[in-house]
Amino acid sequence: MPGFPNIVRNLPEADAPFRDITLWLLRGSTASLIFVEAQKDSEVPSHSHGAQWGFVVAGEMTLTIGDKTRTYRPGEEYFIPAGVPHAAKLKAGVRVIDFFDDPNRYRPKAR
């Protein structure tokens, strides 16, 4: 599959400061989920927030969590505890699904 299917792409895009990365947002009353797709090799600078769990659907992503760096490939999952600094390097074409314990981690882009 070359990208996420239309049932994902029809979700609202998340308002995020990342270049060349698209995030589609699914929000619930207690948590949120994003579908991430990098159009080009991209970086997400170090930051922290509430707990996050995710996995790579396709492609490759290098994630630094605290002081540990690891490359993740399809089917591999990760957990980032609340408040732990982390950063990512996404390869073009990578697709990731991330779950946050915060329903307001991202907001929909203004239309």
Residue 23 counted as domain residue: yes
Residue 108 counted as domain residue: no
Residue 37 counted as domain residue: yes
Residue 48 counted as domain residue: yes
Q: What is the pLDDT of residue 51?
A: 98
pLDDT in tens, 59-99: 999 999 999 999 999 999 999 999 999 999 999 999 999 99
CATH number, position 25: 2.60.120.10
How many CB atoms lie under 10 A from the CB of residue 107? Answer: 13
Residue 1 counted as domain residue: no
Residue 83 counted as domain residue: yes
How many CB atoms lie under 10 A from the CB of residue 64? Answer: 14
Residue 89 counted as domain residue: yes
Question: Taking a C-beta distance cutoff of 8 angstroms, is the pair 72, 56 a contact?
Answer: yes
pLDDT in tens, 8-63: 999 999 999 999 999 999 999 999 999 999 999 999 999 999 999 999 999 999 99
Q: What is the pLDDT of residue 12?
A: 97
Sorting pLDDT into bands at 50, 70 and 90, what band is 106?
very high
pLDDT surpasses 80 at 111: no
**Residue 60 sits in which domain range?**
6-100
Q: What is the pLDDT of residue 1?
A: 67
Residue 109 counted as domain residue: no
Question: Taking a C-beta distance cutoff of 8 angstroms, is the pair 3, 39 a contact?
Answer: no
Q: Which residues pair with 95 in a beta bridge?
A: 37, 58
**3-state secondary structure labels for all residues of 36-87:** EEECCCEEEEEECCCCEEEEEEECCEEEEECCEEEEECCCCEEEECCCCCEE
Q: Which residues pair with 38 in a beta bridge?
A: 21
State pTM to two decimals. 0.95
- Domains: count for the chain: 1
